[in-house]
Each structure stands twice: as structure tokens, then as C-alpha cells.
Amino acid sequence: MIKRNRQKVEERKLWDEDTRQLPLENSRKRGVVIFTAILFGFAVIGFRLVNLMILDHEKLSERATQQYIKEKALTPQRGAIWDRNFKEMATNIETDSLYVVPVKVKDTRQLSSQIAPIIKVSAGEINGLLQKRKEKGFAWLARRMDLETSRRLEGLRAPFKDGEIGFVTEPKRFYPKGHVASHIMGFSNIDDKGIAGIELLYDEYLKGEVKSVSFGVDARGKSLAGDIKEAVPGNNIILTVDEGLQYIVERELENAMEEHKAKAATAIMMNPATGEILALANRPTFDPNSPAEADGEEKRNRAITDLYEPGSTMKSMLASAAFEEKKVSLRDIFDVSKGTIVVGGKTIHDVHRHGILSFQEVIQKSSNVGAVKIGQRLGETKYYDYLRKFGFGEKTGIDFPGEVKGILRGVKNWSGTSLAALSIGQEIGVTPLQMLRAYCAIANGGTLMKPYIVSEIISPSGKVIKKSVPTEERRVISKTTAALMRDILKTVVEEGGTAQKASVKGNLVAGKTGTAQVFDPETGRYSRSRFVSSFVGFAPADNPKVALIVVISEPQGATYGGLVAAPVFKNIIEHTFAYLDVPMETDENKIYLVSR
């Protein structure tokens, strides 16, 4: 019995030991499994972190930026434009632009109704924008507002406080002279991109490097602090134009428009020795600060885009060519006593009857009959060649957009009356700038100069990037012929000439009048009531400081160039000489020609 009990006790001990070892082994196995699972989990997490932080970092960073940083390109400070004396013609002023964060707007209708009357846009249009871009972080509401509008918007405190709307400061193009030199300046659009004039042609130099404004938003779309990156301002431009002379030209042109109730007018002043444009004006005109308020007629730069038949101003080119080719001399006389000449079945009339005229007097008195006879001596081919040499039928190459080349048909396309017509300035289309350049060749001794209007381009640091210099295109006539023509053109302004009203007290003037009938394409004939009146010349005649053309389109009442355009020339030159302090000449304003 005792032995059996002892055996049971021993068996119980063995059982207890076995039962104690079993949970220990299970616990160890469980621990290994858990540890392995944890280790695997960390391995997966580690791999994912490596993938996110290293392999996909750039892509995810870019995506995060797109989600939480909203960026909008803004324009930098546009370069200034100065006249030759560094007077500001175009500059910039700081203005507020209004933006909205659509994703943050709680009540689009309420915000739209608050803002609409202030920025003068319909509430429906604003509400539509907000609805369309409700998931976006940025949208413009109004660009470059005036000060009064900005102040009124500031009164709407709640939308600014809640981050629904805000201001960004942007430069706005400003032309301190208003309409003065508007056709030279041109203008830029709301994004400061050049649209016309110098602003257009030199946009790449003026615009500078773009900057941007970044708007941070959190996961809920709430706005964070913004950051504005630095921008490089545009380059500055110095013009050949003199603001004082420009004002004189514009004032006198405006007076002429009002006096003669003309359809349009143009005046250009140029340095005949260099080709520099000193002033250029057109009427009608516009204010480049408000280009949207002007129509195409007002914005058009007629000086380089509008063609007209020059009439008698072309006789100077004819006379220069004939004398250069030795087809005429000062001793030659022309019988124009009939007052008419028939060419190819077409009768050409003189405005006034004359008797026997010398070569000089044909130009002085602007005889059409005499001019036709000179043209017949010169011949078609020679005349055409000289017209081309003087720059007609081609662009002048001025650094200005929109120039046209004019109309000059080749000799093979001439009719039996073309030589006669061209001798009196018909059957040809020229721009005012082309005609002025041709006269500058006579004024400077026979060289055709390339006109230009930008003198220098200067970087923000003051470095000269580009500098224009006088450019001789070609010699057109000899110095001898040019000197003779200057003398002849002086007589046009004297007693007996057609432009006595262009005479300037104390200084000799040389020039020529033009009165051309406007061709009516509907009737196929020249109008008897519509004219283009012009005068082109230079002064002082023997040492020209300036050359000037005045073209008045369709004046009412008086129509002759000597009565309409010549007085405008006189007024401009007199005020110009006072402004430039050009001394009066002591010689009498009279010229006597001798045989050559």
C-alpha cells in the first residue's frame, strides 16, 4: 500500500513538471511569432519610409506643393521710357490687384453682391467665377485698381479677415504726359505686355523677368502666409524724341485741326544729319493711360501707316534727278503759257497761268506743266531709279512697328500717262516719314539716312545694352545738286513762291508745298472737294537743324498747302528755334540764284 502511494506521488511530480514545461515552450513559440511579426512590420514600415523619403520624395514633394502651395505669376517693374533729356514718358505706379481664394469662400452670393458694385462687375459674373473655381486656391477679381476702389474694398473687413479675398501690389503702366507722344509710346495691356508703339517693339527689353506670388493653404484650405519672390525689373529706354519739341508739334497740329476742321493730320520732325526723330504726332489721338476708350482711327500711327499722293512736294525729287543727270540747268526755260499740257490723251492743268518760267521758277511756282516737261526730259527709267534711291516704295527701316512700304509700280507697269502723273506727285503712295526722309537727303548734302527713334537701352544697373548710331543708307544726289536744290527751295518761301506763309523771321527756310486731290476708288477719279495739303522743309536752310513735314488730310475751306500746312510749319519752327535757342541769321531772308 505504502509502495503504491509512493508511486503515485512520483507520477504526480512527473506530471507537474511536464505541465510546467509545456506553457513555457508555448510561450517561447508565441514570443518568436510576435517578434517575427513585429520585425516584419518594422521592415515593411522601413521599406515604405525609404520609398517615400528617397525613391518617391521628389514626386510626392511636388504633389504636396501642388496641393498646399498655390502660385500665380505676376509682372515685374516694367522699364521706364525717357525722352532725350531723361524726362519720363512712361513709368510705373504701384496699384492693388484683388484676388479671391474660392475654396475658402463660405457664401459666394453674399461675397459677390458685396464686391460687384465696387469693382464694377456684375454679381452674377463673380458668383459664376467662384462656383466654377470653387476648389481652387487662387483667382483674380480685379487687376491694377485705382486708389479709390482699393479704399472702398478695404471697408469690407470680414472677407479680408477670413482670408477669402486679399490684395497683391502690382505695377501699373503710367504715361505722365497723357496723349503727348501717344503714338510713339503705344501702350501695354493688363498683363504689362506691349501692344503698340515702342512698348510693343521693345517689349522683350522692357518687360523684365517674371516673378510669382505663392499662397500656402492647409489641408482644410485655410490660407497660410504668402511669399513673394524677387523679380528683375525691365531695361530702360532713352528716345531721340524731345518732349518739349513734341509738345510744340502736338499743340500746333491740334490748332490746325480745329481751324481747318480736317479729317486727320500728321507732323514729324527729324534731324536731317543723323536721322533722329525729334517729334512725331498724329491727329486724331488718344490717351495711352486709357487705350480701351479709343478706337482704331485714334490709335493709328498715320506717320508710317497711311499712304497719300504727295502732289507737288514730289517735284523736288524730280528736279534733283533731272539736274543730277544733267537733263536741265539753271539757264533752261520752259514755256508754260498755255496753262495746260496733254499727255496720252489726258490734260494736265496749272493752278495759275504762267508765261515763260526758268527751271528754278517751275519749282518755286509749282508749275504742273513745267514739271511734266522736266519729267519728259528725264525719262521713265531714270525717274523711277531716283524715286527708288530717295526711298520710295520701300520701308524706311525705322525702329517702329507697323510701317508700310508705300506704292511705287515698276516702269513696266506704267501707262502712257504715268511719267506725267508721277512728275506732279500722282500714281504713287507715300508715307509722311518717307517724304520727310527724302527731303532730309537734300538738306544734309545728298545722303539718305535711316530714321530711328530709340537712342539707347540701359539696364537697371546703368549698363548700356544697345546704342543706336546714325546710319547712312546711300548717296542719292551729289553735294552740288543738293546745294542747288536747297537754294531753289528757299525761293519757294520767298515772295513769288507758293509758301510765303512758311517764312520764319530771321532765319532762312527751304521747303515745298503740296496740294493733292484724293483719289476716289468708287468713281475712279480724283475728287474735286477732298484734298491733302502738305508742306515739307528744313531750317535754317543753309545749316539745317531740323526738317519737318506737316500733312493735313481733307481740310475744309482753304485747301492749298501754302495756306493750310505752311503756317503750321512756320509756327512749329519759330517755337522750336526759341526752345532750342537757335540764333537768328543776320542775312536777309532772300536768295539770288546764279547760273551753274
**CA pair distance 15, 32, nearest whole angstrom:** 26
In this structure, are residues 534 and 268 in contact, taking their beta carbons and an 8 Å threshold?
Answer: no
- How much of the chain exceeds pLDDT 90, in percent? 63
Predicted local confidence at residue 498, as pLDDT = 94
Catalytic-residue membership of 312 = yes
Q: Are 66 and 58 in contact (CB under 8 A)?
A: no
- Greatest alpha-carbon span in the chain: 178
Q: What is the DSSP letter of 416?
A: T
Q: How far apart are CA 401 and CA 391, in angstroms?
A: 18
As a whole number of angstroms, the distance between CA 135 and CA 101 comes to 9
* 3-state SS string for 121-145: CCHHHHHHHHHHCCCCCCEEEEEEE
Find, among 491, 496, 506, the residue nearest to 573 by Cα: 506
Sign of CA dihedral 41, 47, 50, 51: negative
In order, the DSSP letters of 489-543 are: HHHHTSTTSTTGGG-BTTB--EEEEEEEEEEETTTTEEEEEEEEEEEEEEESTTS
Domain map (residue ranges) of the chain: 1-48, 74-211, 243-290+299-580
| Contact criterion met (CB below 8 Å) for 85 and 79 | no
Query: Residue 407 carries which DSSP code?
Result: B
Q: What share of the chain is helix, strand, coil (3-state, %, to 5)?
A: 40, 25, 35
The span from the CA of 184 to the CA of 365, in Å, is: 36
Enclosing H/E stretch for 185: helix 182-185
Q: Catalytic: which of 97, 182, 188, 312?
A: 312
Q: Please state at what angle helix 315-324 crosses helix 432-443, rounded to 10 degrees.
A: 40
How distant, in Å, are the alpha carbons of 90, 188, 202 from that of 206?
Answer: 11, 11, 6
Instruction: Taking the CA atoms of 436, 442, 443 and 448 in sequence, report the sign of the dihedral they define.
Output: positive
Count the alpha carbons within 13 Å of 205 in the hemisphere toward its beta carbon: 20
pTM, whole model, 2 decimals?
0.81
pLDDT tens for each residue of 395-442 = 999 999 999 999 999 999 999 999 999 999 999 999 999 999 999 999
- Residues 572 and 249: beta-carbon distance below 8 Å: yes
Which pLDDT value is given to residue 591? 47
Nearest to 346 by CA among 419, 274, 290: 419
Only one residue has cell 532765319, namely: 507
pLDDT of residue 13: 55
Angstrom distance (rounded) from CA 245 to CA 251 = 10
**Amino acid (1-letter code) at residue 338:** K
Low-confidence ranges of the chain (pLDDT < 70): 1-33, 35, 37, 40-44, 46-75, 134-137, 162, 210-231, 586-596
Q: Which CATH superfamily is domain 74-211 in?
A: Penicillin-binding protein 2a (Domain 2) (3.90.1310.10)
Are the C-beta atoms of 50 and 60 separated by less than 8 Å?
no
Strand bridging mode 236-239 / 81-82: parallel
- State residue 500's pLDDT score: 94
Q: Is the peptide bond before 540 cis (omega within 30 degrees of 0)?
A: yes
3-state secondary structure of 210: coil
Q: Which CATH architecture has domain 243-290+299-580?
A: 3-Layer(aba) Sandwich (3.40)
| pLDDT at residue 299, as a whole number | 96
